[in-house]
Structure 1
Amino acid sequence: MSISGALSSAMQGLRAAGRGSEVIASNLSNALTPGYGVRSLELSADTTATHGGVKIDGVSRLVNESIVHDKRIAEAGQANASAILDLYIKIEDLLGAPDDPASLSAQTAQLEKNLITAASRPDAPERLSTVVASARILANTFNEASDGLQKVRTTADRTIELQVDQLNNALLQVQELNAQITKTQVQGNNSSGLLDLRQRVIDEISVLVPVRTVARDNGQVAIYSTGGAVLLDSLAAEIGFERSNLVTPYMSESAGTLSGLTINGIAFRTGSSSGVLSGGSIAAQFEIRDEIAVEAQAQIDALARDLVERFQDPAVDPGLAIGDAGLFTDEGNFFDPANENGLAQRLVLNAAVDPDQGGETWRLRDGINAAGPGDVGDATLLNNMISALSTGRVSSSGIFSGGSYSTIDLTSTLTSHYGAERLNAEQIQSFSATQVTELTERLLSEGVDSDQELQKLLLVEQAFAANARMVQAVDEMMQTLLRI
């Protein structure tokens, strides 16, 4: 080998060693960076030169796409499960625990207790006032539970708008990154940094919507939801949604009073079981707004209906005619069974017995429609009210239909039902979180191996030293020749 050939080979070796140390340093410094793909320097023999040498072919980015995909699906599931769990915790808070004095069951029990106390001394005005106060609080508790559910639905509607905007922006960002990656690769430059960034953006998308990616030419990718929607293929899709300022019990997507989703102007399903974007955070908000909270409202309405119907029965108060409202009313009116939706929000104590509405408490004892006070010692109506609360009755709607329940049994059944739903949601969320943790650990285990990188660094150091010694030897030979 000629001196010039040896020097050229040594310089190639030094460049390769220098580039190798850069790659190793990048790997070590990004060992825990989300979305970072391990870099590997690709070298080959330089067959174009007569003196041999080493050629740098480029830097490869190594990622286990299968684990990345599984982790994205798991993260979407965790986001979905966490949102659903938060809702069930909220519903439990609205209903209250049995030992909570502000809960529905506790307020119902308190009304029954106060009626028993009043029946023992029907002539005592303060005891009648206590019954009115507890009945008013019970009605307000129903109102607050219903209002809380509608606030949950309104918040979900607002969250959908924010997350749809986030999804649209992320899709446009991936579209731009696709173009940059293609340009970089066509120019023969390293696109690893852009690939890392694109992976992080797609990871963000997958929390909102579970997705799968399909490789396209020149380093580009297409993105599809697992439900079959095309989110990006060359161009990003535009997801459409219109927020409502306030969601009420009477609003729904099927009625056209709440917005669904559109993709490039075409309406798509949003149901939890068949929605094209099902499984992620956006789908969870639709499930909250259109399914779970609506179902919870229906159950509370069914409980309110049972309470109203017990007291508007003429058998409880013989002074009531057909069509007259009882102790609890539908905004002051007789309850129409065809208008059950939203009853809990409209539940009001009858003004005839409520001093705050101009009524008189003695009508609890003498009858809702009584024109004047009767026998102050007659506790018949008060005892009828006690029986109305404690007697088993077949509920007309809700999860209670088919069984015979007292009022306190109904409230306990509803509270237990949502307690069980919350426990089930906790199990699903815990499983999802564990799955994400396991897949994250697997992805990290196939990522940067610090020990291996340090071993590579030792080899690079040795190669650098060997090539540097070759340059030094060539220099010494040149100096010797010049001295001759």
Structure 2
Amino acid sequence: MSLSSAISTAQSILSNTSKQTLVVSDNIANASNPDYARRAPTLQTYFGGELSVSVQRAENTVLFNQSLEYLSVSTAQNIVYDGLEQLKTSMGGNDYELSPSRYIGDLRDMLQTLAATPGDTTLAASVISAAQDVANSINDASASTQQLRLEADQAIGEGVDKLNNLLVQFEEVNNEVVAGTSTGDDVSQALDSRDTLLREISTLVGIRTLDRGNNDIAIYTTGGQTLFETIPRVVSFTPTNGIDATISGNPVYIDGVALQPGSGSQSTATGELAAHLKVRDGIAPTYQAQLDEIARGLVVVFAEHDQSGSALPDLPGLFTWSGGTVPSTATIEPGISATLSVNPAVLVDTGNPALLRDGGINGAAYVSNTSGATGFSSLLDGYVTGLEAPISFDAAALAGDGASLVGYASDSIGWLELYRSQAHEAAETREAAMVRIFESYSNDTGVNIDEEMALLLDLEQSYKASTKLLSTIDEMLAALMAVR
């Protein structure tokens, strides 16, 4: 080997070692970065025997796609569970001490006590107060349920804006990847950025990707809608200003197709948007329907009936609502729970609590205790019986269709608790699966400090060898110059 060839070889070794060291240093610096995939600096021989460093980015497409899938389903399940947990909290937590079921039970017990001593005016006032507690608990539960729907609607709007922004960013990074791949540049950093964007997108909506030429990819939702194919597709949503039981929220459109919410407590929803749709349009409206059925049942059970023989219609008694009528069929009356109230005619401040015992809240034609006897208890006994006797409920509310009002209110809590516990179990299971997938992916593509340090030691030895070669060449050159 000539001295000039030896010098060239040493320079090549130093240059390649420097490049390899730089790559390994970047790996070590990003060891704790979850969005960084390890780079492997390898030597490749080109035409003419020249050695050059080639950087290979660690990849595992199968595990990466699985991580996106589990990230989507875990995110969605947690949102479904959080929505149910919020409903539970509004009911008073673990013991549901603020639930309508608890207050209806208290009202029944006090009615039984009053029926035993119907002339006790103080106890009658306490019964009216208990009835107000029932109405307030149902009003509050309805308000909390609609607040949950409103928050879900707002979250959908924020999520859609975020998704559109991420798709714009994805277009820029994807174009950088395609351009760099076509010219043979190192696009590892751009690929890291693109994978990070895919993870963020998958938290919002379930996705699958399709690889195309030059590292280009297209993105589709798990439902088949196109999110990105060369250019981003439009994701649109119109927020609802003010929500109540009679108002349905607007859908989310992806490339002109409505996004479908998931179903079930172990939700089939993927991503935040579908999960919020599930909460807004599924879970909350179902519980609202149960509250409406409880409120309707109270109006029916405590309704006053004509006592004059004139075939006058039944009218609201102890409990009334904005509609001012007694619903006649087992059909959900949307929003009745929000306006349920105790009839002013029996309030201590504005009326006479004794009308609950005697009847006549709606006038003389509805009076049952025509003699005015203080020991009259027939109506009170009838109300207690009415609370415990089976009545018809709308099966669409999913809490049964033939229980007593007391039983139905309890069944409603049972539905919520069962749904919540199932959602909690599914959330824990799916999160655990997501963690395992991410660990597997990280183990396969992440940085291992021990391996990188060992490689750094090898590169150090290579550097020492090249410097030793240069030192030897220098001594030979000095010897030649001395001979001259």
Report the TM-score, using the length of structure 2 for normalisation.
0.91
Shift of 1:96: 4.2
Deviations 1:34-65 (CA, angstroms, capped at 9, x unpaired): 221110113123542xxx55223x31111111
1:87–1:143 distance in 2 versus 1, CA, 3 Å: same
Q: 2:433 aligns with which of 432, 435, 447?
A: 435
Query: Aligned pair 1:23/2:19, yes or no?
Result: no
The range that moved more, 162-171 or 96-105, is: 96-105
Find the aligned partners of 1:283 and 1:182 in 2 and give their Cα distance.
Answer: 31
Query: Aligned pair 1:415/2:413, yes or no?
Result: yes
Find the aligned partners of 2:97 and 2:71 in 1 and give their Cα distance.
Answer: 39
1:279–1:424 distance in 2 versus 1, CA, 3 Å: same
Alignment of 1:111-260 (within 5 A): 111-252=107-248, 258-260=249-251
Deviations 1:228-285 (CA, angstroms, capped at 9, x unpaired): 1111111011201111121111112xxxxx3212234x242423259xx951111000
The range that moved more, 145-154 or 373-382, is: 373-382
Q: 1:322 aligns with which of 307, 313, 328?
A: 313
- Name the amino acid aligned to 2:19: R
Contact 1:363/1:369 (8 A) holds in 2:
no
Contact 1:332/1:349 (8 A) holds in 2:
no
Shift of 1:394: 4.2
Shift of 1:101: 4.1
Find the aligned partners of 1:3 and 1:280 in 2 and give their Cα distance.
Answer: 65
Shift of 1:125: 1.8
2:469 aligns to what? 470
Shift of 1:291: 1.1
Contact 1:317/1:381 (8 A) holds in 2:
no
Find the aligned partners of 1:279 and 1:233 in 2 and give their Cα distance.
Answer: 21
1:364 aligns to what? 356
Query: Aligned pair 1:39/2:35, yes or no?
Result: no
Find the aligned partners of 2:179 and 2:93 in 1 and give their Cα distance.
Answer: 61
Alignment of 1:42-53 (within 5 A): 42-48=42-48, 52-53=49-50
Shift of 1:370: 4.8
Query: Aligned pair 1:344/2:361, yes or no?
Result: no
1:154–1:316 distance in 2 versus 1, CA, 3 Å: farther
SS at match of 2:344: coil
The range that moved more, 219-228 or 160-169, is: 219-228
1:435–1:234 distance in 2 versus 1, CA, 3 Å: same
Contact 1:34/1:200 (8 A) holds in 2:
no
Find the aligned partners of 1:345 and 1:416 in 2 and give their Cα distance.
Answer: 22
Find the aligned partners of 2:452 and 2:310 in 1 and give their Cα distance.
Answer: 90
Contact 2:14/2:463 (8 A) holds in 1:
yes
1:55 aligns to what? 52
1:272 aligns to what? 262
Contact 2:88/2:94 (8 A) holds in 1:
no
1:123–1:273 distance in 2 versus 1, CA, 3 Å: closer
Contact 1:150/1:247 (8 A) holds in 2:
yes
Find the aligned partners of 1:73 and 1:417 in 2 and give their Cα distance.
Answer: 29
Contact 2:304/2:314 (8 A) holds in 1:
no
Contact 1:40/1:61 (8 A) holds in 2:
yes
1:317–1:211 distance in 2 versus 1, CA, 3 Å: farther
Deviations 1:275-312 (CA, angstroms, capped at 9, x unpaired): xx951111000111111111111122122222221111
Query: Aligned pair 1:399/2:398, yes or no?
Result: yes
Contact 2:245/2:285 (8 A) holds in 1:
yes
Shift of 1:323: 3.4
- Name the amino acid aligned to 2:426: I
Contact 2:73/2:269 (8 A) holds in 1:
no
1:98–1:315 distance in 2 versus 1, CA, 3 Å: farther
Q: Which runs of 4+ in 1 moved over 6 A?
A: 315-320
1:452 aligns to what? 451
* Number of equivalent positions: 470
Find the aligned partners of 1:156 and 1:396 in 2 and give their Cα distance.
Answer: 26
Find the aligned partners of 1:273 and 1:294 in 2 and give their Cα distance.
Answer: 13
Contact 2:35/2:196 (8 A) holds in 1:
yes
Find the aligned partners of 2:223 and 2:133 in 1 and give their Cα distance.
Answer: 47
Deviations 1:155-182 (CA, angstroms, capped at 9, x unpaired): 1010000000110000100100112223
Find the aligned partners of 1:89 and 1:393 in 2 and give their Cα distance.
Answer: 30
Unaligned 5+ runs, structure 1: 253-257
SS at match of 1:41: strand
Unaligned 5+ runs, structure 2: none
Shift of 1:396: 4.8
Deviations 1:308-348 (CA, angstroms, capped at 9, x unpaired): 21111639999994232222123261233466112211212
Shift of 1:364: 0.9
- Name the amino acid aligned to 2:317: G
Q: CA RMSD in A?
A: 2.5
Find the aligned partners of 1:6 and 1:96 in 2 and give their Cα distance.
Answer: 82
1:255 aligns to what? none
1:375 aligns to what? 373
Find the aligned partners of 2:308 and 2:57 in 1 and give their Cα distance.
Answer: 81
Shift of 1:479: 0.8
Contact 1:329/1:347 (8 A) holds in 2:
yes
SS at match of 1:393: coil
Shift of 1:401: 4.1
1:285–1:101 distance in 2 versus 1, CA, 3 Å: closer
Contact 1:123/1:377 (8 A) holds in 2:
yes
Query: Aligned pair 1:285/2:281, yes or no?
Result: no
Find the aligned partners of 1:188 and 1:273 in 2 and give their Cα distance.
Answer: 47
Contact 2:317/2:343 (8 A) holds in 1:
yes
Find the aligned partners of 2:206 and 2:139 in 1 and give their Cα distance.
Answer: 37
Report the TM-score, using the length of structure 1 for normalisation.
0.91
Find the aligned partners of 1:392 and 1:55 in 2 and give their Cα distance.
Answer: 85
Contact 1:316/1:385 (8 A) holds in 2:
no
1:301–1:98 distance in 2 versus 1, CA, 3 Å: farther
Find the aligned partners of 1:233 and 1:169 in 2 and give their Cα distance.
Answer: 15
Find the aligned partners of 1:197 and 1:235 in 2 and give their Cα distance.
Answer: 17
SS at match of 1:231: strand
